[in-house]
Structure 1
Amino acid sequence: MSTYRFAARAGVVLAAAGTAVLFTSGIASAHVTAKVLGEPAVQGGYTKITFRVPNEDNTAGTVKVEVKFPAETPIASLRTKPLPGWTATIVKGKLAKPITSHGAEITEAVSSVTWTAAAGTRIGPGEFAEFEVSGGALPETDQLVLPAVQTYDSGKVVSWDAPPPAAGAEEPEHPAPVVKLTKAAAGGDDHAAAAPAATATDTHGEKTEAAAAKSSDTTARWLGGAGLVVGALGLGLGAGATLRARRAVAAAKAGN
């Protein structure tokens, strides 16, 4: 077999393997998840949580999503971000044991939030949607487990409520969405999470861009000046050559 054919076949095999990996990983990750994007979720603070809901049915569409907030890890305040075509409903419940948050006694907490699609609206096959909430104060726990229930227009109901697996164990078929929480910094302000790392990065980026622009401008000026010098030299050399040519022609005429 020639080296070319061997390389070609190897490329086909690797491409097929890569496609298989991507396909299987896509299937494995196609479940309801909860993410905190752009900032850490700090215990005792407030944050935004994004629930990503993919549609896993090839013939039906998702028309209702319910997320439950366990009383064991209470959140007293919650707001939803408007989503066209969907109505959000927040339900609160009494706590068996009141808690204290920022000096105030809390006797009730959020028990669930439900998004219901309007007529003609749904998450269709091959689609996903994101539902966002903002709230707190976040409980003092390492992780926030938020079971979800996904309802399809066919009547099928899928509960994403399996607890997180132990280290090294396989992921359950229908895992509950989980948000990891970090401890508040000593002396920090619990009312807000730490500033997004992107802020420092963006600021640094602006300085870098400004420096790059200044450097580019300086280079352009230097090149422009060099161009003028070269142009002047060229004109000088051209004029000298023309003068020498004229003198040679005059000398030739005088000799004749």
Structure 2
Amino acid sequence: MKASRLAAAGAVAASAVVVLSSPAFAHVSVQPEGTAAKGGYAVIDFKVPNERDDASTTKLEVNFPTDHPLSSVMPEPMAGWDVKVTKSKLDKPIEAHGRQLTEAVSKITWTATGKGVEPGYFEKFPVSVGALPEDTDELVFKAIQTYSNKEVVRWIEEQEDGAEEPENPAPVLTLSAASEDGHHGSSATAEATEKADDDAEKASAETAAPADSSDTTARVLGVVGIVIGVVGVAYGVLAGRRRTDA
């Protein structure tokens, strides 16, 4: 009896843990494709899982931070979704590519033109963003998820230091430090490509030098051969004449 009670209590406790922790695995989140370095550009994905068994996600609204406006925001076209980009006037203009911007993207709205994100599935919504701010370690994107049954879930609660994760946390993009050499974003790939180009040029130069030398040698030998041939012919003619005179 005691063992049965302990087993039942353990099962209840395990179920409670799963229920309490499930929001951490099912909320709308944001992650970069690769790295999101301060001062650089990145492609970020808003991951939207469907938490319902009887409804599809048909709309996603993502609000962009107004305290750190981004000069470039470009969503990727997605089949089955209509994308609307909303811009708002900035309280303070920002510098971008040598000019001042007075407005920036404040919200992107994806509306399903088909079935949306059906139960048991998730979908990623890619957006190219930059230049990422250098004076913060993270960006908070508040999101609103709407289902086909008109239910609305607001992922807008910000995490406070030392506190437990809120029930409906807002997506947070963690920014990595810019590389020491001044490159931003995928600098490793750029450096690898540059190194490969340099190696190819060196190999080409090293290959060209012996080829040029061999070509010059061949030409010299060819000329020498022609001269020897002419001399031989002349010698033969003279020798023939001497025999005739004799």
Q: What range describes the TM-score normalised by the shorter chain of this pair? A: 0.5 to 0.7
Cα 1:71–1:62 shift into 2, 3 Å: same
Structure 1 unaligned segments of length 5 or more: list them.
Answer: 1-15, 204-256
% identity of equivalent residues: 46
Q: In structure 2, what residue type is equivalent to 1:37?
A: E
Deviations 1:81-140 (A, max 9, x none): 22210111111111110111343222111101111100x322112211111001211122
Counterpart in the other structure of 1:73: 68
1:29 is paired with a residue whose SS is helix
Distance, in Å, in 1 between the alignment partners of 2:181 and 2:189 is 18
Counterpart in the other structure of 2:159: 164
Q: In structure 2, what residue type is equivalent to 1:195?
A: A
Distance, in Å, in 2 between the alignment partners of 1:53 and 1:114 is 13
Distance, in Å, in 1 between the alignment partners of 2:24 and 2:170 is 14
Counterpart in the other structure of 2:59: 64
| Contact 2:66/2:106, CA 8 A, preserved across alignment | yes
Measured after TM superposition, the shift of residue 196 of structure 1 is 5.9
Distance, in Å, in 2 between the alignment partners of 1:178 and 1:89 is 22
Counterpart in the other structure of 2:227: none
1:25-174 alignment, distance < 5 Å = 27-38=23-34, 40-118=35-113, 120-140=114-134, 141-167=136-162, 169-174=163-168
Structure 2 unaligned segments of length 5 or more: list them.
Answer: 1-10, 197-246
Cα 1:182–1:104 shift into 2, 3 Å: farther
Q: In structure 1, what residue type is equivalent to 2:121?
A: E
1:70 is paired with a residue whose SS is coil
Measured after TM superposition, the shift of residue 34 of structure 1 is 0.2
Counterpart in the other structure of 1:177: 171
| Contact 2:32/2:42, CA 8 A, preserved across alignment | yes
When normalised by structure 1's length, the TM-score is 0.63
Deviation larger for 107-116 or 176-185: 176-185
Q: In structure 1, what residue type is equivalent to 2:144?
A: V
Counterpart in the other structure of 2:215: none
Larger-Rg structure: 2
Measured after TM superposition, the shift of residue 165 of structure 1 is 2.8
Measured after TM superposition, the shift of residue 182 of structure 1 is 2.3
1:105 is paired with a residue whose SS is strand
Cα 1:129–1:22 shift into 2, 3 Å: farther
| Contact 2:23/2:167, CA 8 A, preserved across alignment | no
Cα 1:194–1:161 shift into 2, 3 Å: farther
Deviations 1:139-194 (A, max 9, x none): 22110000000011111111100012313x2110000000011232345134x443
Counterpart in the other structure of 1:194: 187
Cα 1:183–1:28 shift into 2, 3 Å: closer
Distance, in Å, in 2 between the alignment partners of 1:49 and 1:21 is 33
Measured after TM superposition, the shift of residue 21 of structure 1 is 10
Q: In structure 2, what residue type is equivalent to 1:72?
A: D
Distance, in Å, in 2 between the alignment partners of 1:107 and 1:195 is 34
Q: In structure 2, what residue type is equivalent to 1:46?
A: Y
| Contact 2:50/2:121, CA 8 A, preserved across alignment | yes
Number of positions where the alignment pairs a residue of Structure 1 with one of Structure 2? 181
When normalised by structure 2's length, the TM-score is 0.65
